[in-house]
Amino acid sequence: MKKALDQAWLAYKYNEVPVGAVIVNSNGTIIGTGYNAMIKNLDPSGHAEIIAMKKAASIISNYRLLECTLFVTLEPCMMCIGASINARIKSIFYGTKDPKTGMIESRANLINQPWHNHCINVEGGLLAIKSKRLLKKFFKMRRKIDNY
């Protein structure tokens, strides 16, 4: 989870919403990393989780990330949950809740619904305070810059 937080700091450095993600294989080896890069890449799908999944899929030459675990600093959104299910991610560990778009426990529960053909183990709250502090720092800075 610390490596995911390191990725979030990279997003912060590039003035992106500071979310970071890491994918590890069943041996615990990192096979994909990502940080939010929607503005930098002009890509609405440029979420940390999606970027990490794409890198991991490329490394193992398979879009199915069987037996892989996703660590992410913020509760995933609808798009990232869908991609995790399609990729067959085994487990998701996330930092802080996302009260606006979180789709594991905050806004809805899209994980492990009976209509899904894949179940994902989930645990939240890992390094939640550090993840939340970084997000608050970012948005406080943005409000000053944007004069909100």
| Domains of the chain: total | 1
- Among candidate residues 49, 67, 75, 123, the one labeled active-site is 49
Q: Does residue 148 have a pLDDT over 60?
A: no
Q: Summarize the annotated binding site for Zn(2+) as residue ranges.
A: 47, 77, 80
Asked whether residue 131 is assigned to any structural domain, the reply reads no
CATH assignment of the domain containing 23: 3.40.140.10
- Domain span at 63: 1-126
Asked whether residue 144 is assigned to any structural domain, the reply reads no
User: What is the rounded distance in angstroms from the CA atom of residue 78 to the CA atom of residue 118?
Assistant: 16
- pLDDT digits 0-9 by tens, 15-30: 999 999 999 999 999 9
The yes-or-no answer on residue 49 being catalytic is: yes
Q: What is the pLDDT of residue 144?
A: 79
- pLDDT digits 0-9 by tens, 40-95: 999 999 999 999 999 999 999 999 999 999 999 999 999 999 999 999 999 999 99
Asked whether residue 56 is assigned to any structural domain, the reply reads yes
Q: Summarize the annotated binding site as residue ranges.
A: 47, 77, 80
Its pTM stands at 0.95
Asked whether residue 107 is assigned to any structural domain, the reply reads yes
DSSP E strands in the chain: the ranges are 20-24, 30-35, 69-74, 91-96, 121-124
